[in-house]
Structures are given as structure tokens and as C-alpha cells.
Amino acid sequence: MCFPASPAEVAAAVAVAARHDRPFVARGSGTGLSGGATPVGRPVVIVTTHLNRILDVDPAARVAWVEPGVLNLDLSRSVSHLGLHYAPDPSSQAACTIGGNVATNAGGPHCLASGVTAAHVLALDVVLADGSIAQLGGLEPDQPGYDLRGCFVGSEGTMGIATRVAVRLTRDPTVVRTLLLDFTSVEAAGATVSGIIAAGIVPAALEMMDAEITRAVEDYVGAGYPRDAAAVLLVELDGLEAGVAAQVEEVRAVGREHGARSVRVAADERERALLWKGRKSAFGAIARIAPDYYLHDVVVPRTRLVEVLLEVYEIAEEQRLTMMNVFHAGDGNLHPLIVFDAREPGVWPRVTDAGDAILRACVAAGGVLSGEHGIGLEKRDAMPLVFGPDDLDAQARLRDAFDPWGRANPDKVLPRGSRCGELGVVPEGAWV
């Protein structure tokens, strides 16, 4: 394990790995939830936390060059006095790195309208698996040739290590309104989500929390969430005065139409911050319920949200598990959260069986395996659920074009046998 302090040191570490024909694994803060940074096969682990400088901020161009170990929230804080922020805001933003965000194509509550990490990364310096350094993308709007920058974002460390990142900064909105809608059924909350989108509104954020997590959060932070709600929606609208005011009324009307018990608009910044604190402390809150949790991340077409959510509850019941849901409803990104005590005999197989069942339910509804946490090790062998052999082969070709030596985090994302002609092709539908 090494802690390089400059891009040259990253390149040197990669070159050492190359010389000894050992794999290497990049690691940021290690908050990843799919095992992308987990060392497999005695790799050199290259930790980026000492590469933590904000190198340059250009307020006129709204661009910042940062090192990969800069924490997401530190970047936004450092430009807030300019009326700017870095838009992707994973719930882990106080702890995760920009490099990790780039590698996982991280999302967050506010990515609904503004897009996930891929839409905010302009250019990257990367160390390739042979130790050479390449710049991908650029500050000019177009570069000739293939969009290697776009390919690298979300590649989970399998195409090289980012050592410098140019990100787009976003201007703070003039007006922000945050609403809390309270429902007596998850169906009503789900229908409201679809209703809002169908009304032609794409909120800045549209989050849903079910009964159990709402209670847990309320007990933990006292944000003023209704303890008896079956589900709540947290809706944030931003932009300019008239448009936001009109949308607040429309969201209120859609909510009422679907039976919202109450619609509360945060009166001031303090109340707004408290509502968000509730949402963002969900994972802290559950620690008071049971010592362990397994957080899932799947996406379904947003019109199938309720149907899949109900299936998730059935799965929990079948496996006799506590399942809570706090998620990015606006883009159909579910986060079923299984809360358990690993000391309970026989609980683990039930937890993993429930995870399998959730994936299958989601894929059956036309969904995908991950919306923001990535594939890593966790879902690698489930890839054939959504991709055929030819699709996986094409992805393997792309990955190998970046790293023909197979040294950059080689055991992640693609299941063994993805390359056509490679032995041991995973049978279709088989996984884990």
C-alpha cells in the first residue's frame, strides 16, 4: 500500500506494479459500496488521500482543477464564496473523494436535474497501466476522436488512475424551496413522483423515505418529519422566483391530488437545512436499530417505482428481514436498506438471498443493476442478468484498450469470461 503525493509518484507506483507484473488498485476514501477498492490478488494499493490539493479555480470559466483525493464537500465549500458549487452531492460527500466520484460516476440527491458526475467532468490526467500519463478530454468544448474522458468516468479504477481532474462548477440558484409531503401509503407517494414528472417539472431533488426510515431519522435528528407517515417525499425546486413559485404550487396540487396529508414548505434556510440533515443522516440513524446494514442500489423506470418497491417489501417479509427505503425517487433509483445483526445465526444467507431477489425484481421491471454505487465486486457476476455475451465482450474490448496488460483493478466490473473466445463463459442468467 502506498500514499503517493504527486502524479509522478502515482506513475512510479504503477510502474513498479508493472515491473513486477502485479495488479494495482486505486483507493480514495474507501466509502465505495460495491467493493471497487477492495484489494484482490495481492495488488499494489495506491491511495490518493495525500493528493488533496485544489490546484486552480477559475470563477469566470467556472472550472476547478483538483487532485483526486480532494473531498467532495471540501471542493464545494472552497468555492461557495464565489456563489458556485460542485453539483454532484453523494450522501457521503463529507468523506468521499473526487477521484472516487469520477471512478464510480457518483450521483446524489441533486443530480436529478443537474446530472451525475459524468456531466461535470471536463478533463482528466490519468496514469495508465504502463505508467504513462495521458490527458483525456479538455477545457475546449470538443476534442477530436473518441470520448475517452467519458469512457474513463465510471470505470471503477479499471482503466487507470486519475491524478488531476477538471470539474465544472455550477452557479448557485437564485431561489430554493424545499417541500416535505407526507403520505399514508407508499403507493400515493410513488404516484406523486410520477405526477410531478408528468406535470413537466424536473425538481432539483426528489427523494422518498418510507415509514421505518422516517421514524428512525426523526428519532435521531428531530427534523420534524411525521413519525406516523407511511412515506414522505422531500422535493427541492430551484431556479428563479416565478418559475419556482409556480412549481411549488403545482407540486402541492399534485401531492394533494394523490392524498398527501400535509405539504410543508420550509420557511427558512434553517428549516431547509434541518430537512436535508434528516435525509442525509439516514445511515447514521439506522445504526441505532441494528449494528449492520446492507445498502442496495438499483434503478427502475420511474413509472414502475411503486410496483418494484412493493416487491421489495414482499422479499423482506419472505426473508424475515427489516428493510428500509430512502432513495432518489425522481430518477427511479431505489436504495433498499437491509438492517440486521450479523451475530444472529443464519442471517447472512437471508440477507444475500434478499439482495439477489431485489436485483432480479428490478431487472424484470426493465431496470439496471446500479444507479450510482457501481458494479465492483458486488454485482460483477450479476452483469449477465442485463448484458448478453456480445455486450460484455464489447465492454471488455474497451477496458482492454485502456489496459491491454490487465493490471488496473482487473477483477472488477466484468465477470470472468466476458471476452468472447475466453474460456469459462458464464452461462446466461447465472450469477453469484
Partner 1 sequence: MGVTPDAEQAVAAAVGAASTVVPVGAGTQREVGGPVPTGTEVGAPSGIVAYDPAELTVTAGAGTSVDELDAALGAHAQECVLDPRDRRATLGGLLAVGLSGPRRLRYGPLRDRVLEVRFATADGRLVRGGGPTVKNVTGFDLPRLLVGSFGTLGVLTRVILRCQPRPALSRWYRAPGEPDAVRAACLAPSTITWGPDGTRVLLEGHPDDVDAQAAAAELVALPDDGPAWPDAPHRGRVSVPPGQVRQVGAGLAALDGVVWLAEWGVGTVHVGAATEDGLAAARGVATAAGGWLLRESGAPTLDGFGVALPASEVMARVKAAFDPTGKLAPGRLPIPGAGVAAPGVVSGGRIGGPARA
Window 7 to 66, contacts with partner 1 (CB under 8 A): 58, 60-61
Q: Of residues 142, 268, 320, 424, which one binds partner 1 by CB under 8 A?
A: 142
Q: Binding segment for ligand FAD among 20-28, 166-174, 199-207, 252-260 (CB under 6 A)?
A: 20-28
- The number of residues in the chain equals 432
Residue 32 interaction partner, one of partner 1, ligand FAD, none, beta carbon < 5-8 Å per kind: ligand FAD
Q: Of residues 13, 33, 75, 309, which one binds ligand FAD by CB under 6 A?
A: 33
Tell me if 372 contacts partner 1 by CB under 8 A. Answer: yes
Tell me if 399 contacts partner 1 by CB under 8 A. Answer: yes
- The owner of cell 465492454 is 395
Tell me if 169 contacts partner 1 by CB under 8 A. Answer: no
If phi over 0 gives left and psi between -120 and 50 gives alpha, with beta otherwise, what is residue 419? beta
Residue 201 interaction partner, one of partner 1, ligand FAD, none, beta carbon < 5-8 Å per kind: partner 1
- Under 8 Å between Cβ of 31 and 94: no
CA–CA gap between residue 10 and residue 163 (Å, rounded): 8
Tell me if 96 contacts partner 1 by CB under 8 A. Answer: no
Residue 197 interaction partner, one of partner 1, ligand FAD, none, beta carbon < 5-8 Å per kind: partner 1
Tell me if 328 contacts partner 1 by CB under 8 A. Answer: yes
Tell me if 124 contacts ligand FAD by CB under 6 A. Answer: no
Q: Of residues 299, 306, 354, 408, which one binds partner 1 by CB under 8 A?
A: 299
Tell me if 144 contacts partner 1 by CB under 8 A. Answer: yes
| Contact set for partner 1, span 264-293 (CB under 8 A) | none
Tell me if 309 contacts ligand FAD by CB under 6 A. Answer: no
For residue 177, count other CB atoms closer than 10 A to its CB. Answer: 20
CA–CA gap between residue 323 and residue 225 (Å, rounded): 19
> Which grid cell sits at 365?
421491471
| Minimum CB distance to partner 1 smaller for 290 or for 425 | 425
Residue 64 interaction partner, one of partner 1, ligand FAD, none, beta carbon < 5-8 Å per kind: none
For residues 234 to 273, the per-residue mask of contacts with ligand FAD, x marking binding by CB under 6 A and - elsewhere, is ----------------------------------------
Tell me if 334 contacts ligand FAD by CB under 6 A. Answer: no
CA–CA gap between residue 392 and residue 144 (Å, rounded): 27
Q: Binding segment for partner 1 among 5-13, 88-96, 210-218, 386-394 (CB under 8 A)?
A: 386-394
> Which grid cell sits at 55?
490546484
Q: Of residues 4, 43, 100, 107, which one binds partner 1 by CB under 8 A?
A: 107
Tell me if 139 contacts partner 1 by CB under 8 A. Answer: yes
Report angle CA 293, 332, 430 to the nearest 5 degrees: 65
Residues in binding contact with partner 1, number by CB under 8 A? 90
Q: Which residues pair with 305 in a beta bridge?
A: none
Tell me if 108 contacts ligand FAD by CB under 6 A. Answer: yes
For residues 365 to 404, the per-residue mask of contacts with ligand FAD, x marking binding by CB under 6 A and - elsewhere, is -------xx--x----------------------------
| Contact set for partner 1, span 213-272 (CB under 8 A) | 239-243, 246
Q: Give me the least distance between CB of 283 and partner 1, in Å please.
A: 20
| Minimum CB distance to ligand FAD smaller for 7 or for 226 | 7
- Under 8 Å between Cβ of 424 and 381: no
CA–CA gap between residue 10 and residue 48 (Å, rounded): 9
Site residues (vs ligand FAD, CB under 6 A): 25-33, 36-37, 48, 68, 90-92, 96-97, 99-101, 103-104, 106-108, 156-157, 161-162, 283, 372-373, 376, 409
